[in-house]
Every structure is written in C-alpha cells, then in structure tokens.
Amino acid sequence: MITEALQHCPGIGPARLAMLHAEGMRTWSDVLASQDRIPAACRTELIAECGRCQAALAEDNLDYFLACFTPRDRWRILHHYFDQATFFDIETEGLHHGAPITTIVCWHQGRLRTFVEHENLDDFLTLLEEVTLLVSFNGSTFDVPRVLDAFHIPALGCGHLDLRWSCYHQGYRGGLKEIASQMAIHRPADLADADGQFAVELWLAWQANHDRAARDQLIRYCAADVLLLVILAGRLTGRGEEPAERWWRQLPPRPPALSLPASAVANTSNNNGPEKTAQRVQGALFGSSSPSQLRGRRARIAAANPQPEHAGS
C-alpha cells in the first residue's frame, strides 16, 4: 500500500495519476521500470521522487513519508506502520485553552498504558522515547500542542499522524464519536453519552471528594476513545476488522455508580482559578529539558504546592 503513494510526486495531479494507473504504473517500482512511458513533462522529477521513496522505505525512514505524503495518502503510512503505532488521547482539567492535562491513555505494544496527574503523568515522557509513530484524533490541533505545553518540550521526538484527516479524505466528517457512529461502532453502554465535559466533571470529583470511582471512570472513558482510534485505524487501512466488543474487553472494569459535585460544571468555566496560577509558575520554571530534569522540577513544584492525599492512590 505505501508504495502506491504517488500524489505527492511533482507534477502528479488527479488526471496524471489516473493516466499512470491506466498505463499500469501504480507503484514506485512500476514507475522506475517504465520510464520511457512517462510523459516528458514530469518524467525526471517523478523518477527521482520514486527513487527517494524506495530508499526511504529501505531505510525505514518514517519521517520522510510524514513530511512528503499528501493528506490523502497518509493512511498508507499507518497501514505500513500499523503494528508499530501507538494510539493516544488526553483529558484536561477544563475545556478552556491551556487547561492542564489530567490523564493520558495510550495503546502501546499491545496493551493500555495509563498516566494520571499527581501520580505518574511524567512517565509519559519515558514512553515517548519508545514510540515510533504516535496516532491521535485531532491531535495536531489539541492533544499534541497540549503535551508540548504541559511538559515544556520543543517536539515529540517521534512521528505523529492525525487520524482525523485520514477519516476526512475517506469521506467521514465530524468528531471521533460521530465518525464511530457512521461506522456503526458502539461504545459500552456506560460511555455511550459521555463526552469531554463529563471527563472534566469526573476529574473534579476525584480532586474534590477523593471519589475513586470517578477517577477510574475517567480512565475508562479515555481508554475507550483510544481503543476507538485503534478500531477506526484498522478499518480505514484495512488492517483490522475485529468487532468492537473484542476491543472493549481490554477496558478497565466499570466502577460503581458515580456521585458528581453540583459545582463541577461551573468550575470548568473558570479561566483564572488556581490551575492558571500553577500553569504560570510552571511556565516560568520549565524549559527544554530531559525527562529526568522535568520530573525533578515538577516534583519540586508539587512539594511546594501539595495536593490532598487520595485514598488508594
């Protein structure tokens, strides 16, 4: 599949791509083997680019394809690197810009990995060092910028692919849950109507009341979105057609009934509360540092601003 990506090559638009296909040239190898049948106007650059692509594939140069492929062809990258991909999603303390990250969940090397603020959030930096290709939904706009800001790092250090645009170019519009509905993928009953606002309320309940059930449901909610990404990716690339129920068995168990504070929703609209002060303090102290340095600095800030102890954490 990845070797059929030709739309990024100089001079190849939809009409010329159709002409190449009609001439039996669908892959880089086909082009290099049929040079005399390529129109002179694009021959030199097309041959050169196909040669570069073959070299990049031989060298396993993922960054080359991420930099060069058009959005329409990026799904081919995921098809090729599917088994090495790490799928992730984050939740934040509020829906306003700059709200701190509370939870990160990843599907990495065949299992779910969970990172929670005040517990082990910084360990996500260590996991990033193992990642080949990070896959998100709308992560280019939201998740990745939030991660870079939260950890004060200049770049991820691995390739990133936003599945939202692969969905878009295959005719699926809307958010992650809307697209899942279009594909007749149904989340577990306790998460069917859950959204980002619900995730904020769960975090506030955990922080305010030490409600362990709220914490566990937040992780379950975030993990369900991550597994939904895996399901979508499998269907978009043809790499997986397993029923959703098979994936839901990977989720943490459903916790007991929840009791959320009435103030939870109102608190999410506060853009000038303690979290903004903490963000300004962290921004002043953090820089572009190694994971160990970042942990040390965050630990010192945490010691200066202790959080309530949570039973069972």
Domain shared by 101 and 180, yes or no: yes
Domain shared by 48 and 88, yes or no: no
Domain shared by 129 and 256, yes or no: yes
In tens, the pLDDT along 7-42 reads: 999 999 999 999 999 989 999 999 899 998 998 889
- Mean pLDDT (whole number) for 298-308: 55
- Which structural domain, as residue segments, surrounds residue 39? 2-59
CATH number for the domain spanning 9: value is 1.10.150
Whether residue 163 lies inside any domain: the answer is yes
Domain shared by 87 and 216, yes or no: yes
Domain shared by 220 and 121, yes or no: yes
Quote the pLDDT of residue 299: 57
pLDDT at 257 over 60: yes
Quote the pLDDT of residue 68: 95
Do residues 301 and 309 make contact, with C-beta atoms less than 8 angstroms apart? no
Domain shared by 138 and 102, yes or no: yes
Q: How many structural domains compose the chain?
A: 2
In tens, the pLDDT along 79-93 reads: 999 999 999 999 999
Whether residue 40 lies inside any domain: the answer is yes
How sure is the predictor about 278, in pLDDT bands with cuts at 50, 70 and 90?
very low
In tens, the pLDDT along 97-155 reads: 788 999 999 999 999 999 999 999 999 999 999 999 999 999 999 999 999 999 999 99
Quote the pLDDT of residue 304: 58
What percent of the chain clears pLDDT 70, i.e. is strictly above it?
82
Whether residue 72 lies inside any domain: the answer is no
Whether residue 118 lies inside any domain: the answer is yes
Domain shared by 195 and 85, yes or no: yes
Whether residue 88 lies inside any domain: the answer is yes
Domain shared by 250 and 194, yes or no: yes
How sure is the predictor about 290, in pLDDT bands with cuts at 50, 70 and 90?
very low
Domain shared by 52 and 183, yes or no: no
Whether residue 299 lies inside any domain: the answer is no
- Mean pLDDT (whole number) for 191-207: 91
- Mean pLDDT (whole number) for 156-175: 93
Quote the pLDDT of residue 256: 78
Domain shared by 37 and 144, yes or no: no
Domain shared by 17 and 132, yes or no: no
Domain shared by 247 and 156, yes or no: yes
